[in-house]
Structure 1
Amino acid sequence: MALHALRGTTALVCITLAWPAAAQDDPGFLGTLVLTQGKRDLSFGTALSRTVVGAEEIQDRQASTIGQLVDSVPGVALVNGTTPQGSGINIRGFGANTTYGSDQKIAVQIDGASVGSEELYRIGTQLFTDPLLYREVEVLRGTIGSFAFGSGIVGGVVRLETKDASDFTGGDLGFGGSQTVEASSNGPGFVSSTNLAWVPSDNAEFLLNYTFRDQDDLTDGDGDEIGNSSFQTPSGLAKATFTFGDADEHQLSFSHSRTVADDKDVPYDQFITTADIFGNVDRVTDTSQTALDYRYNPANDLIDLRANLSYADQKIEYDYVPGSSSAEGTPSFPFLLRTVEADQRYETTKLTVSNRAIFDTGAVGHDLLTGIELQKRVRADNEEASAPGGTDRRFAAFLIDEMQIGAVTVTPALRYESSEVDSAGDFGTFDNDAWMGGLALGYEFGNGVSVFGSAAYTEGLPIIDDLGATPDARERMSTTEKSQTFELGAEYTGGGWFAAGDTLSIRGNIYETTLWDITSYTVAGSTGTPLESVKTRGAELEASYGFANGTYVDLAGHLVEGTEYNPGGGEADWRNTLSDRLQVTVGRTFDDTLDLSWEVVHTADRRDALGDDLPNTTVNNLRATWTPDASGILAGSEIRFGLENAFDVDYVGHLASPSRKSPGRTLKATLTKTF
């Protein structure tokens, strides 16, 4: 794929950069939400590569993990399985990989709390939560939309927003809620999710959710059991929102969510299906997120103030299962035993304060977001654990100014961040700081066509995981990883192509990313020599066509390539590059009561975790949703059926361990009753 011409041409054309959703409710004052009749409402009118998976699609996909929910987004892939502990999210070739669940180059937030970013050996992304707790998942791809969320973000940002009580009461006063039960044939599996909502007045609302998910070991397309694929995860959410003031200009929200798994006799290495030299363990994983969000929005365009205080806590406790390690009785076993019994805990406290101001300076309209962020991350000191302990304190300030000049939009973005990493052991204290930023330019032709692009630069500051006693470790702690990304694209929104009432939305973009001064990846086969640089290129496409009679066609896909460069010459395919993917959904709705669809997902240029080539795969998924237009017992109910991997294809997922195959044919049935 020839994408080399991208660099240098990006600044010629582009469109508006949307403000972070954490700072406002809409995607920018030029943002356009295009409603189609397909599975996904496409949000266009912005330079961001942004996809939102809404509440309806969250239910429709019947996903067991957040990774399964977002891997339909262009540029996003689920790495290494479908279990909460073992799988991870990869965006544009960064994030989860075949060794760690994170490489710090994607950010994950739950109601503003930063989660899932620890580099724990052979443990997944730690985005350990249940999809049914959330009303919306937003995926921002690339760097240009990341400056309000963190530094060193190369792949992108995943933002999750928990449900609100008003989602179940329709804005009316009183009680409401829902009960969901789901059964799946593969495993088998069972889910129960209960929501209880209370809106006692126009100024207060309360929500409680309890979700219990139980999954036995899955089987692959050949009917063989997939080891280490069972899990049981009870989850809960408590949320309250209050508004007050003479004009309800103040809003205060509190949310707390928690997911726990108590796994017995499972491999310490979550990426594989059977015990290896590390053996099996009893593992308890306890993850919680708490957020307090305050908003002051008076009748003044210069003030829309938000303050978000969050706390994320994850504890992982291990007990070795005697006799399960292949190394038992060898000289190395005492060391391995100390490692697999080393409990881990990390806590992240963060305060973000921002303000959005809308004003004009002559012929230029401004939508200005400014903010500061304070963060403290603590990892418990445990010399035997596979990750060092310490404290990472950070301060950041950011500014994003969307300037509108007629049909042209110019959006500069700037972030400054400083850090102090203090070792819990004898590795020392390290201070670093960096400036980073980007620019989006754009033009809207007024006939439904827009062109857009961006250029962005970011630096990843050293983290607790980089601590160590060797000279290489000290050099890592004084080096910031640097990257630049260029994007260019176009979009169209219109209708009436074949008949009155038809709608068409299509958006395509290409990008090129270069990463250098690398501290997080080493030369293949080496444990100490870092790569010289990594370059990735790709093309992404999202489209939806809706016919007036209810028929719709959705399309999403990406083409990617990546190269890693060794010091002194030599290059190879980037080991974490995504596979090429095309996803097409054809469906039809009937009078808003029945939705039938057929989804085909084709992937090519695939490899397993060892780098061996895998054949192309085509997987078919069938879905049906029935919303009875009835009174009595069926009133307020939705019945969903899903047939995943309908033709029972036997295959290993891209970048997955060879032994961990993907699930075979799975029938899911879901009943949701609102009250």
Structure 2
Amino acid sequence: MFACTSRRAALLCSAALISTTSVMAQDSLGDGVLDGVTDGIILLDEIVLKRSKRDIQTDTANSITVIEQEEIDDRQATTVAELIDSVPGVTLINGATPQGSGINIRGFGANSTFGSDQKVLIQVDGASVGSEELYRISTQLFTDPALYKEVSVLRGLGGSFEYGSGAIGGVVLLETKDASDFTGGEVGFKFRQTLQGNSNGSGFSSSSILAWQPTENFEVLGNFTYSEQKNQKDGAGEIIGNSAFELPSYALKMRGVFGDDLSHRLELSLSHTNSSEKDVPYDSFGTTTDAFGNVDRDLENTIGVLTYGYNPADNDLIDLEVKLSYSDQTIDQSYVAGSSSLEGTPSFPFLEPLVEADHQYETTKLLVKNTSLFSTGQATHDMRYGVELSRRDRLDASSAPGGTDDRIAVFVVDDIDFGNGLTLTPGVRFEDQTIEGNGSAAGKYDNSALMGGVSAQYKFASGWSVLGSVGYTESMPIIDDLGTPVFMTQSEKARNYEIGTSYANTGVFREQDSIAFKATVYQTDIWDITSYRNVDSVELTGIELEGRYALESGFYADVNANFQDGDEIRTNGDVLDWRNLPADQLRLTLGKRFDRKWDLSWEMVANAETEVNGSEAPGYVVHNLRATYRPQEGAFEGLEVRMGLENAFDKLYTPYLATRPAPGRTLKVSLAKTF
């Protein structure tokens, strides 16, 4: 027997119960938690006791961290990568500048040779972005952090099967801002202006957002952001070459709901970012010109997403979403004559096609997905299932083959709550691929894979939980490997195991305190490897920690850490350290909120000394200070002032896996106001 459960009925019943204790809730939850009361119904913004900088996701077995708008603003990130550098397991490759930067999760993703190894998926409003293996060129995720209101980072395979295949490192989901985030759902205009400057490199950024809601059911947002920076200096006062940039971005987003019960939704999201670099090293990971020489490089990123949603009020079996997305990444580059030390030698003719290559990636994807809520006996189900069709077109470049990668995938993920504290989430994904090359790499190959896993969490009434997961995935062949036919029928395969515990409660050490933490031990095994030459398999183990503690007085503490070890087994049988193993890291933040006006915090980032295959990298400790001031009355009411002092003691260091020194002491100041 199937019995549909009504979300709306449950919400209304809960609201009715809560409305009888609204005054008590306001006192205990603090300002800003209750959004409003209408006809006896309380609209909850979020039910979180004594929030610190970040919530810990203790209600899921998956390793996921969600960074929301407040933290995005407070971090004053220069790049998208810097939005997530505080997530355990995440390591940045030169994250302070758009060029030469990349994201590494649990030892996979970007490295010092390629901007991606296809083991970290990145999506913007559902559109898949990022390139394949461009030699010595970064991920080129040239979008501005000001465009986003939320970033979710899934680590490992748990939760990844509805987003794609091969996410051995994880998935990064970016969600752009909506007009209603500023209008509050009310008819009218809102304008938000943010100005930011930083001392190191004389950086400047301006973000202008116009939100218009002509009716209660239709909204439009326009954004223009311009950022620029000169070359920065490291902790010793030396210039960090190739760290200057100029980055204009714009975005347009429209959203409307219609129908008798407003069950239909139509949304369009567009964003565009471009960068122009003149006479810069071809090697975007480097700081100075080397044998590759210099290039003039123009980059453009365009993302478009059209979404239709249908969610009838009287049927919990239907919550349909149809999403058509398109992303275009274009890299035009030309060699600067005379800049390579190899020019005029027999070696240069082999190098010239690389530095003269133009690249373009176009990814078109159609996703049809439905969410059904229903009951079977004592169990309730939140089931997401759908089909995804995608095509990636790669331009035939002088240094790499072009071609098409067509895929069709079906997936089912079901959150099953048994009502006794146990939640079980099985997931399965089947993907079929047809990949075809152009020109000298002509050929057609068909591949398919069945992937899946299951995660489980058992919650005790005491606030403790035990959790675990197991998953299997495959990384399908990529267009870049069309020149090596043996790789075109061999997918990379991986298993991931996780086990851990979490705890969340209030009134633990003091009557009005709150605490939450999560600890996860993971193991990842990979074999049939094609993305790294002469490597047969990789075995990794690690532990991630996340925790927060907060008092009613406004004091809070956040801590997270990642400790990891691993080996790569070579094709000749040798066992070496995994080359992309990140450094062990501990991050601690202590802060104090003073009503709604002030938020002061100190952050320590400690990386352990690292030795990989005889190569040693020293450890380091960096201190960052942050302050946020929001006047609540007077002429400056509504103004937001943020100050950050990063690398406060001007430490000279190079983060492990990075190829250039980190910036020295940097003072950032930003002003923001919504009119």
Q: Is the 8 A contact 1:111 1:162 kept in 2?
A: yes
What is the TM-score of this pair, normalised by structure 2?
0.91
Shift in Å, 1:615:
0.9
Aligned partner of 2:647 in structure 1 is 645
Cα gap change, 1:611 to 1:329, in 2 (>3 Å): farther
Distance 1:568 1:322, change over 3 A: closer
Check if 1:115 corresponds to 2:129. Answer: yes
Query: What whole-Å deviation, never above 9, does each CA across 1:264-291 have from its counterpart, x for those lacking one?
Result: 1100000101111110111101011000
**Which amino acid letter does the alignment assign opposite residue 209 of structure 2?**
N
Contact residue 558 and residue 588 of structure 2 kept, 8 A: yes
Output the amino acid matched with 1:399.
V
Take 2:350 and 2:333, find their aligned partners in 1: how far apart are those partners? Answer: 15
Equivalent residues of 2:50, 2:552 under 8 A apart: no
Name the CA shift for 1:338/1:611 in 2 (closer, same or farther; >3 Å).
farther
Counterpart residue type for residue 636 of structure 1: G
CA distance in 2, matches of 1:52, 1:152: 21
> Does the C-alpha gap of structure 1 residues 81 and 161 become closer, same or farther in structure 2, counting only changes over 3 Å?
closer
The match for 2:18 is none
Cα drift, residue 367 of structure 1: 1.5
Q: In structure 1, what is the equivalent of residue 632 of structure 2? A: 629
Alpha-carbon distance in structure 2 between the residues aligned to 1:177 and 1:516: 52
- The reply to whether residue 613 of structure 1 matches residue 650 of structure 2 is no
Q: Distance in 1 between matches of 2:237 and 2:190?
A: 42
Kept in 2, the 8 Å contact 1:36–1:544? The answer is no
Partner of 2:91: 77
1:433-444 aligned at under 5 Å gives the runs 433-444=448-459
CA distance in 1, matches of 2:265, 2:611: 49
Q: 1:343 corresponds to which residue?
A: 358
Matched residues in 1 for 2:440 and 2:290: separation?
Answer: 32
With over 3 angstroms needed to count, the CA separation of the structure-2 counterparts of 1:35 and 1:495, relative to structure 1, is: closer
The question of 1:477 aligning with 2:488 is answered: yes
What aligned pairs does 1:231-270 form with structure 2 within 5 A after superposition? 231-270=245-284
Q: Is the 8 A contact 1:499 1:548 kept in 2?
A: no
TM superposition shift of 1:440: 1.3
Do the aligned residues in 1 keep the contact of 2:513 with 2:549 (CA within 8 Å)?
yes
Secondary structure of the 1:60 match is helix
Aligned counterpart, 2:21: none
* Distance (whole Å) between structure 2 residues aligned to residue 569 and residue 422 of structure 1: 33
Secondary structure of the 2:436 match is strand
The residue aligned with 2:388 is: 373
Q: 1:495 aligns with which of 506, 510, 514?
A: 506
Displacement after TM superposition at 1:128 (Å): 1.5
Alignment of 1:388-427 (within 5 A): 388-405=401-418, 406-427=420-441
Among 419, 440, 444, which residue is 1:429 paired with?
444
Q: Quick check: 2:79–2:95 contact (8 Å CA) kept in 1?
A: no
- Secondary structure of the 2:450 match is strand
Q: What amino acid is aligned across from residue 179 of structure 2 in structure 1?
A: A
AA matched with 1:404: D
2:352 match: secondary structure? helix
CA deviation string 1:350-401 (max 9, x = no partner) = 011111111112222222111000000000112x12x320000000000012
SS in 2 for 1:459: strand
Which residue pairs with 2:325 in the alignment? 310
* Structure 2 match to 1:88: 102
The ranges of structure 1 where at least 4 consecutive aligned residues each deviate by more than 6 angstroms after the TM superposition are: none
Secondary structure of 1:42's match?
Answer: coil
Q: 1:36 to 1:125 in 2, by over 3 A?
A: farther
In structure 2, what is the equivalent of residue 557 of structure 1? 561
- How far apart, CA to CA, are the structure 1 residues paired with 2:467 and 2:304? 37
Partner of 2:33: none
Equivalent-residue separation in structure 2 for 1:45 and 1:95 (angstroms): 27
Unaligned runs of 5+ in 2: 1-45
Residue 526 of structure 2 corresponds to residue 512 of structure 1: no
CA drift of 1:36 comes to: 4.1
Deviation at 1:37, TM superposition (A): 2.8
**Structure 2: how far apart are the matches of 1:36 and 1:490?**
22
Question: Does residue 127 of the first structure (1) align with residue 147 of the second (2)?
Answer: no
CA distance in 2, matches of 1:575, 1:424: 33
CA shift digits 1:273-310 (9 cap, x unpaired): 11111101111010110001111000211000001110
1:441 Cα offset (Å): 2.1
CA contact (8 A) 1:107 1:117 kept: no
Q: In structure 2, how many angstroms separate the alpha carbons of the residues matched to 1:575 and 1:338?
A: 28
2:342 to 327, 330, 337: 327
Structure 1 counterpart of 2:641, one-letter code: I
TM-superposed CA distance for 1:585, in Å, is: 0.4
Q: Which AA in structure 2 matches 1:457? A: Y
Q: Is the 8 A contact 2:519 2:543 kept in 1?
A: yes
Residue 166 (structure 1) aligns with: 180
User: Does the 8 Å contact 1:35/1:41 carry over to 2?
Assistant: no
The letter for the 1-side match of 2:652 is D
SS in 1 for 2:401: coil
1:250 Cα deviation after fit: 0.5
Equivalent in the alignment of 2:32: none
SS of residue in 2 equivalent to 1:43: coil
Q: One-letter code of the match for 1:395?
A: I
Distance 1:413 1:490 in 2: 21
Instruction: Tell me the distance in 2 between the aligned counterparts of 1:274 and 1:243.
Output: 52
Partner Cα distance (1:98, 1:496) in 2: 47
Distance in 2 of aligned mates of 1:208 and 1:36: 34
Distance across 2 between alignment mates of 1:248 and 1:506: 39
Give yes or no for contact 2:453–2:471 (8 Å, CA) kept in 1.
Answer: yes
Asked whether the 8 Å contact 1:607–1:654 carries over to 2, the reply is no
Residue 39 in structure 1 maps to residue 53 in structure 2: yes
Question: SS of the counterpart of 1:44?
Answer: coil
What residue identity is the alignment partner of 1:59? D
CA deviation vs aligned residue, 1:104-137 (integer Å, no higher than 9, x gap): 0010000110001421111111221110000011
Contact 2:62 2:455 in 1 (8 A): no
CA separation in 2, counterparts of 1:65 and 1:35?
Answer: 31
Q: Alignment RMSD, CA only?
A: 1.4
Q: Which residue of 1 aligns with 2:573?
A: 569
Name the SS for the 2:81 alignment partner. Answer: helix
1:637 corresponds to which letter in structure 2? Answer: L
1:339 alignment partner, SS class: helix
Give the distance between the partners of 2:458 and 2:70, measured in 1 at CA.
32
The question of whether the paired residues in 2 share the 8 Å contact of 1:34 and 1:43 is answered with no
Name the aligned partner's letter for residue 413 of structure 2: I
- Name the residue aligned to 1:5: none
For residue 604 of structure 2, give the secondary structure of its aligned residue in structure 1: strand
CA drift of 1:177 comes to 2.1
How far, CA to CA, are the matches of 2:177 and 2:269 in structure 1? 10
- Decide which moves more: 164-173 or 150-159: 164-173
> 3-state SS of the aligned residue for 2:350?
helix
Letter in structure 2 aligned against 1:554: D
SS at match of 2:354: helix
- Corresponding letter in the other structure for 1:344: H
* Alignment-mate amino acid for residue 232 of structure 1: E
- Aligned mates of 1:315, 1:39 — CA distance in 2: 37
Distance 1:606 1:620 in 2: 20
Structure 2 letter corresponding to 1:174: G
Structure 1 unaligned blocks of 5 or more: 1-31, 524-530
* Corresponding residue number in structure 2 for 1:543: 547
Where does residue 467 of structure 1 map in the other structure? 482
Distance 2:103 2:557 in 1: 26
* Residue identity in the other structure for 1:444: K
Amino acid at match of 1:322: A
Kindly state the Cα deviation for residue 40 of structure 1 after the two structures are TM-superposed: 1.2
